[in-house]
Amino acid sequence: MSTSAVVLLSGGLDSMVCAGLAREAGYEVIALTVDYGQRHRIELEAAAAIAARLAARHVVLKLDLRAFGGSALTDDIAVPKDGGGEGIPVTYVPARNTVLLALALAHAEVTGSDAIFAGVNAVDYSGYPDCRPEFLDAFERLANLATRRAVEGAPISIEAPIVSMRKAQIVRTGFELGVDFSLTVSCYNADAEGRACGRCDACRFRSQGFVEAGIEDPTRYQPGAPRRSEGTVRG
């Protein structure tokens, strides 16, 4: 009987590759998607499609972070375009990964899962503090202090297999796993049909990753959106 892992599945490219890696490692995938009030709600439909493709158990948990706001993803704040601005961008959702990992931890305890997989990345990313390896290491220590199963001798591991990969490496890895990238939605400004804006950080990192990997990009773009190698990517 295979062991299970809770995989945080957002509906984006990184989380689908992460789920594929969890399955490749021999885990039964239990997908957890959090509906936190994100404005780019089309990603929730993408997460459902990905879970179905993986034949994974899928839980969608509602936790409306719009009550707090403070982010362009949960509040009436414009999403930055074309790499403008310095420092951590307003697309950072305060403590989001801490919250999501805590929920995944609770689900892992209930399901008897041995690991939690998170598709966070600290190379081609926007500088979010909760995507760094040191944060993940700290959370794993917390998880194994705070849970009954760990105290009773069955610790939970926090797995972030793409944390140190360039976006091109993530794309290549997904390609080798047979991932259907067309199911994924990464854009912070996707329209109701799931078409990408091509200008937000998520779009720019994603499109450049496909270019550098030399793999066809199946992303559907909004009319007039810049494509692939247009512009530069912060890294």
**CA-closest candidate to residue 18, choices 104, 81, 96, 107:** 104
So what's the pLDDT on residue 47?
97
SS3 114: coil
Say if residue 232's pLDDT is above 70: no
DSSP 157: E
**CA-closest candidate to residue 185, choices 8, 2, 10:** 10
So what's the pLDDT on residue 234?
37
Cα(149)–Cα(135) distance, rounded to whole angstroms? 22
Which segments of 72-217 does DSSP mark as H helices, in order? 96-111, 133-146, 148-151, 167-177, 201-213
- pLDDT, mean of residues 120-131: 89
Q: Half-sphere exposure (CA, 13 Å, Cβ side) for 70?
A: 10
* Domains in the chain with CATH codes: 4-165 (3.40.50.620)
Residue-wise pLDDT tens digits, 75-105: 999 999 887 667 899 999 999 999 999 999 9
Tokens encoding 213 = 């990997």
Question: The pTM is what?
Answer: 0.92
Contact indicator for 118, 99 with CB cutoff of 8 Å: no
- pLDDT, mean of residues 100-114: 97
